[in-house]
Structure 1
């Protein structure tokens, strides 16, 4: 087991955010966290990334407790967070540069794979939203960490671009099979991308249910139009709807 969060509790002041959270991610697995706004999904990432520590429970990576340790995961935030004064390729190698070993040849190869070879000397202002997200993902991928944490990376994109980026992400992931923990508000996105989905309750968040996605890989966009996809989407919608109504 690559990542294991075991009975995690976390509060900020008098506000309890997480209660008895237990999740895991296997090697090469794509896992989604799905929950209402404010349910603590990003807090879970902060705990895994060492930006915060749990009040109770343990977080382990490769069977080693990692509380408060930074630099052990690849991370892609909601916004691309590219440095505007650095070129595309300079942004891509940033995480490698911090460890002292930037590999421009490998970065160039990846930019070519994702259709951005001609933009490697461009600056972020010259890129579309989807292009920026691709750059941010390749930067996380080249960090060489075994676990990638993706925090709603496509939430700011329009619907058409979002679907294209989901398909692109799956194609890249199929090639590398790095372990991914993916936060999203989108039920469709979670089902289309993930092997398993954890449903979070309202705050203080706990795990309401763990859903195994039954669809084979590789996945095509046509899956979105099947009765099986719609039925699973409706099931998850009702779970989240109950949480939102309870919280109102």
Structure 2
């Protein structure tokens, strides 16, 4: 599926990513966590074709996708909905730009996520969680082979965030899209992902990879188990080591 091969990226004299390699399999949900400024958003820019590599390769189904835009589905931290377009028009905008909007598919997805009655409404009529659902549906109806989600719930209050995590998991478990998910929230990564990649401080490379051992489908109950808390503490310690090291240079 997605193969990141020994990539480097610098901006002038600042090296952000160094010798980074990992793979995402078909239908896998992979979370990336790391210290602030460790290059997580830069990685998405490289995968999305916005920025060029200094070294290495990014392959999607064995095809080199460096500097190729429109290949992946992308969901940013903020919903980024156009206020002058209806919810239905916001959902179909990516396909519209590619001259192939699928209105029936968009309506079907809005129905699945409980937003069918809002298709003619404008974004300001929706709550933050509802807007994030629209943003996710916009990414998924573009029918790309992999979705890159960049801290999509970071701006939400805690209750809405937990609700959106459960919602995303229920949608993913039904459709099994390949997802690369960036988050600062360790508990979120553990609850959602099959595998967690821990990045070092800048320049980012892989510190640890952890296979999440919890069975699917998952329920909220796992958050209260001893094994969940033990893994959460282990991941916290990995991140703390990177943060502490940053002050020793």
Per the normalisation by structure 1, the TM-score is 0.99
Q: Which residue of the partner structure matches residue 89 of structure 2?
A: 90
- What is the CA-CA distance between 1:127 and the residue it aligns to? 0.6
Structure 2: runs of 5+ lacking an equivalent: none
Deviation at 1:97, TM superposition (A): 0.8
Partner of 1:111: 110
Alpha-carbon distance in structure 1 between the residues aligned to 2:22 and 2:185: 20
The residue that corresponds to 2:137 in the other structure is 138
Structure 1 gap segments, 5+ residues each = none
Moved over 2 A (4+): none
Deviation of the 1:23 alpha carbon = 1.2
Q: Give the Cα separation in 1 of the matches to 2:69 and 2:105.
A: 24
Q: What are the superposed Cα offsets for residues 6-60 of structure 1, whole Å, 9 maximum, x if unpaired?
A: 1111100000000110011100000011001100000100000000111011110
SS at match of 2:27: coil
Q: Number of residues paired by the alignment? A: 247
CA distance, structure 2, for counterparts of residue 114 and residue 175 of structure 1? 12
Q: Distance in 2 between matches of 1:93 and 1:10?
A: 33
1:76 corresponds to which residue?
75
Aligned-residue RMSD, C-alpha: 0.6
Task: Encode CA deviations 1:121-142: one digit per residue, 9 max, x unaligned.
Answer: 1100111000000000000000
TM-score, with length taken from structure 2: 0.98
| Alignment partners' CA distance in 1, 2:216 and 2:162 | 17
CA distance in 2, matches of 1:148, 1:112: 21
> Does structure 1 residue 12 correspond to structure 2 residue 11?
yes
| Whole-angstrom CA distance in 2 between matches of 1:7 and 1:106 | 38
SS in 2 for 1:57: strand
- The 2-side partners of 1:94 and 1:165 are apart by 23
Counterpart of 1:32 in structure 2 is 31
